[in-house]
Amino acid sequence: MSFKTLLNTLVERVPGAQGAIVADWEGEAVDQAGLMDHYDLKVIGAHKGVILQSMREVVDRLGDDQLKEIVITTDRGQSLILPVTQDYYLVLTLDRSDMLGRALLEARRCSLALYKEIVE
């Protein structure tokens, strides 16, 4: 299954989802899908990569295990950041809603499917 198909499925399954993107460790978009402007989604993906890298450094300094996911909630929206491998990560952006549990479930499923696509 292609990255695009997996990302489209994620956006379709999460109420209020605006976009999903897979990016590499440099913040470069690998593939994306969603309702929002593609350029805006690429910028969001790159910025969330900076946050992911900073949080990985903090977790490493604390001697904790691997970082699994980051949830960012603002007044207007939410973003989920999930490392797929050491070199790739998934970002899902969505409207602010009470669907965070559903969004996390679907993002985890997508991340696992992306991982299988990458390593196989």
pLDDT at 96 (0 to 100): 87
Q: Which residues contact 96 (CB under 8 A, 6 or more apart)?
A: 16, 73, 74, 75, 76, 77, 78
pLDDT in tens, 6-61: 999 999 999 999 999 999 999 999 999 999 999 999 999 999 999 999 999 999 89
CATH of the domain at 105: 3.30.450.30
Comparing 1 with 60, which gets the higher pLDDT? 60
Supply the pTM of this predicted model: 0.94
Report how far apart, in Å, the C-alpha atoms of 34 and of each of 31, 58, 119 are: 11, 31, 25
User: What are the E-state strand segments in the chain?
Assistant: 17-24, 29-34, 70-73, 77-83, 88-95
* Domain range enclosing 37: 3-119
Tally of domains within the chain: 1
